[in-house]
Structure 1
Amino acid sequence: MIHRVIFLLYFSFLLFLCACFSIYIIKRNVLIKTSGMAVVMALGISMQGVVSNFLGPSFFQSAFAKIIPTIILAIWISFIFSIVLSYFNGRFRELHVRNAVNRFGIGTWVAASSICGILVSKHFTEWGIIAKVLCCLNVMFWIFYIIICIKAFFEIHHNHLMKNSNGIFLLTTVSTQSIILMLHTVFGEIPKMITISLLFIGLGFYLISATFIIRRYVTNQWAIETDWNNTNCILHGALSISGLVCIVSGIAPEKVLMLLWIFTLVVFLIVECLELCRIYKRIVTYGLKKGMLIYDVSQWSRVFTFAMFYTFTSLIHLTSSQFTMIQSIILQFGIWVVLLLILSEIILSVKHGDGSPASSSLKSAMSGHRSPSRNSK
């Protein structure tokens, strides 16, 4: 009886939040950016991957532990409502499809839906059928996304848009691997051939995307303070989620996993060193306020990739003493880095919006509100 009452309370809370967010969207006619679902991705993996592994599964057995998943689900539903609204307003194509590079941002819709399916399956077992329906719908939507991305790759190459290549291309990999994680969570064991096929499809897109990105920076003149994109951190985030897939599905031996983790660590260090150089150059060039303390929704990709690397590191079994020491350091301090990044993005989004609690989480991802960013390309 008590369990049913708690379930009804959370369901009512979810409906209340969705109603509040939807009313705000309608009144302000706000439309999320294509990559706006990165907020849901970042918050979802931070809670399900970072916090759960740090505090242990017992934390989520308490009645109040479902509040955060409920809020994340409400944000996801309200963002979907905003996307649907853009369609009826006749702006869907303009906002999400017309630009070939921006089109890849639809991958955040797939990945965010995957993490929400996982949250429903893990924390709201009463909604098991909903999780399964969502999973099937998301697989079909992923197929649609992959088709338009393949078309976009040819369009970018044909129209000589390589100079705009960035980490947003890697959402093809992230979305694909997120589908595997959702399938394994919602349905349990799935045919090994499906897992292997999807995994290699994702890795294939990683090679294609990385080639486009590297070629851009090798063949063109560029300045790190203006031409290095926030989304480039997905270079290691896409590897981390691929490693997580290998662990969850159990299809890779320990030696392969260790090599993948080492490679991911190397890419992580290279990319984040470039990020530090960019921050330094931007502060020197534009000052602290305009160079660093600027918001853009693409910055949530950094939260997602850090959280994903932490999750991958927390689940892998390392045998070498040197690597276990590195692993221990990452697990000890990584959670605070992720939480600090989340707090920073929330503060910046509030500053970017009107400061009201009702709008801060939504307004930050809206395309109708623009602000100069650290790099929003």
Structure 2
Amino acid sequence: MFIILLLCCLIIGLITFGKNWPAAPTAAGSMVMALSIFVSGIWPYMSGQSVNSLSSRLLVLGTILIWLYLLASYLTSIRRSTFYRDHLADPMRRLAIGSWATGTSVLLINVYYAFGAGWINETVHIMAVLNVVLWLFYLWSVLSGWRQLAGGSYRGRWDGSVWLPATATHSIAWMIHEVFDLADGLWVSRILIAAGMVMYVIGAWQLWRQRAKRPRTKQSYGCWNTTYVMVYGAPAIAAVTASATHAWSAARIMDAWWIILALLLVVEGREALQATNRIRNTGWRTGIGRYHTAQWTRLFTLGIFYVLTWYTLPLLQEGSLSFVLHRWMLTGGGWLLSVLFLLELTFWLIALVRHWGQPAPESDAASNTGMRVRHH
């Protein structure tokens, strides 16, 4: 029943708007990733509401609507005969398809716990199987993209999408554990987490290899991309999955938390410096007050680290320095992330309203929504 309702919404939307449906870039799936993490990890801790409370259910429904909007956009690209060009031709965009699988995984977990009963559970199980199929297709696309990137023929700009195969694989392990009641599923979680970490290393090696070949000019040092926040985001979701599935010991998870915290401070410190430079050169509005899809990636990585901090809190001795640090990060970080989510959602709605109904230009199907990854 639920699937039929979703399909009816999509059909009505596609018939109504047709080829003028606003185009979304491949990486727009990071929006669902970020909002789902907010609903499942930040909102319950900050509000004290349970995952199946009325407020949580409303937030889940809102995320479902955004997921449907993005799905309709991707299906419309098929109708425009631009799907391959928009999402598969470029190897970095191909890697960004991992945001679709990751966002769907976390969203299905939210739906399962917020509405879990009867036919909704059955629908979640069906959607989870379809998401696994999407993930398998994605892995096939990743292998093709890796060959193209390794061949040295790619001349485009690299970004943090190199770590999305790892993130998507870890999210699949998390989804399978939460949605399916596997009697002996620990080995599945461990295999998928290990496979994801191997993909993380491959992505890091490819990026390092590409940057090592680039001439060391003054300009090259400024080619830092916002999506590099996945440096700590991918290990964070691995640790969250390991904690949820009990694939790692408590000591190993705590060690991972400290390593991820160090990576976060380094990466976000550099991001803060670049944001300061942009504000100094272009002003507040242009520097940080405009919508860019890549900011959802940052909110996801910060959100998944917040969830990991929440998961590791019970492992600490009450009153210890680490315990106090965790509590401070959960309280202060929760308010900060809530404000950032509200601002980014506002920027997205403004960009969406401004460009609604405009036909997608042939040169760049994603540019008319304002939802294009910005490189710094």
Q: TM-score, normalised by structure 1?
A: 0.86
8 Å CA contact 2:159–2:225 kept in 1: the answer is yes
**Matched residue SS, 1:48:** helix
Q: Does structure 2 retain, via aligned residues, the 8 Å contact 1:163–1:216?
A: no
* Counterpart for residue 318 of structure 1: 316
Cα shift readout 1:243-264 (whole Å, capped 9, x = no counterpart): 1011101121111111111100
Query: Matched residue of 2:97: which SS?
Result: helix
Shift of 1:280: 1.5
Q: Name the CA distance, whole Å, in 1 between partners of 2:321 and 2:172.
A: 33
Shift of 1:232: 0.7
1:292, 1:374 within 8 Å by CA — same for their partners in 2?
A: no
Residues 51-200 of structure 1 aligned to structure 2 (within 5 Å): 51-56=43-48, 58-126=49-117, 127-161=120-154, 164-189=157-182, 190-200=184-194
Distance 1:91 1:284, change over 3 A: same
In the alignment, is the contact (CA less than 8 A) between 1:156 and 1:162 conserved in 2? no
1:247 and 2:253 correspond: no
Distance 2:181 2:42 in 1: 22
Give yes or no for contact 2:39–2:56 (8 Å, CA) kept in 1: no
Give the whole-Å Cα distance in 2 for the aligned partners of 1:293 and 1:176: 33
The 8 Å contact of residues 244 and 312 in structure 1, kept in 2 or not, is answered as yes
Question: What's the RMSD between the two structures over aligned residues?
Answer: 3.0
Alignment check: 8 A CA contact 1:14 1:70 kept? no
CA change 1:159–1:346 in 2 (3 A) is: same
Q: Write the distance in 2 (CA, Å) between the matches of 1:258 and 1:212.
A: 28
Query: How big is each residue's C-alpha offset from its partner over 1:185-213, in whole Å with a ceiling of 9 and x where there is no partner?
Result: 11134522211110011001111112233
Please tell me the residue identity of whatever aligns with 1:123: A
Q: Are the structure 2 counterparts of residues 139 and 373 from structure 1 closer, same or farther at C-alpha, using a change threshold of 3 Å?
A: closer
Q: Confirm or deny that 1:41 pairs with 2:33.
A: yes
User: Do the aligned residues in 1 keep the contact of 2:160 with 2:230 (CA within 8 Å)?
Assistant: yes
Report the counterpart of residue 257 of structure 1 in structure 2: 253
The residue that corresponds to 1:332 in the other structure is: 331
- C-alpha contact 1:30 1:368 (8 A) present in aligned 2: no
Which letter does structure 2 place at the counterpart of 1:100?
A: P
SS of 2:368's partner is coil
Following superposition of structure 1 onto structure 2, how do residues 297-312 of structure 1 map, counting pairs within 5 Å?
297-312=293-308
Instruction: Determine the C-alpha separation between the residues in 1 that align with 2:289 and 2:5.
Output: 33
Aligned mates of 1:154, 1:373 — CA distance in 2? 25
Read off the aligned partner of 2:308 and give its amino acid letter: F
Which amino acid is 2:100 matched to? W
Shift of 1:125: 1.7
Change (3 A) 1:226 1:295: farther
Q: Distance in 1 between matches of 2:3 and 2:164?
A: 31
Match of 1:363 in 2: none
1:80, distance to aligned residue in structure 2 (A): 1.3
Alpha-carbon distance, 1:35 to partner: 0.9
Deviation at 1:352, TM superposition (A): 2.7
1:289–1:223 Cα change, 3 Å: farther
Q: 2:292 aligns with which of 274, 289, 296?
A: 296
**What does 1:278-293 align with in structure 2 at a 5 Å threshold?**
278-293=274-289
Distance 1:225 1:344, change over 3 A: farther
CA distance in 2, matches of 1:372, 1:44: 19
User: Quick one: distance in 2 between partners of 1:282 and 1:120?
Assistant: 39
After superposition, the Cα gap between the structure-2 partners of 1:135 and 1:37, relative to the gap in structure 1 and judged at 3 Å, is same
Change (3 A) 1:171 1:11: closer
Output the CA distance in 1 between the equivalents of 2:294 and 2:325. Answer: 28
Task: Please report how far the alpha carbon of residue 219 of structure 1 lies from its aligned counterpart in structure 2 after TM superposition.
Answer: 4.9
Does residue 32 in structure 1 map to residue 24 in structure 2? yes
Report the residue type matching 2:191 in the other structure: S
Q: Tell me how far apart the structure 1 counterparts of residues 211 and 291 of structure 2 sit (CA, whole Å).
A: 24
- The answer to which of 127-136 and 291-300 deviates more is 291-300
- Amino acid of the residue matched to residue 203 of structure 1? M
For these two proteins, the number of residue pairs brought into alignment is: 361
- For residues 141 and 343 of structure 1, the distance between their equivalents in structure 2, rounded to whole angstroms, comes to 30
Tell which deviates more after alignment, 269-278 or 322-331. 322-331
Q: CA deviation at 1:353?
A: 3.6
Counterpart residue type for residue 261 of structure 1: W
In structure 2, list runs of 5 or more residues that go unmatched: 358-364
Q: How far has the Cα of 1:21 moved from its partner?
A: 6.0
Q: Which has the higher mean CA deviation after the structures are superposed, 286-295 or 223-232?
A: 223-232
- Distance in 2 between residues matched to 1:92 and 1:374, nearest whole Å: 18
Going from structure 1 to structure 2, the CA distance change for 1:322 and 1:85 (only over 3 Å counts) comes to same
Matches within 5 A, 1:228-239: 228-239=224-235
Shift in Å, 1:355: 5.3
Q: 1:94 to 1:67 in 2, by over 3 A?
A: same
1:25 touches 1:82 (CA, 8 Å); kept in 2?
Answer: no
Instruction: Provide TM-score, normalisation by structure 2.
Output: 0.86
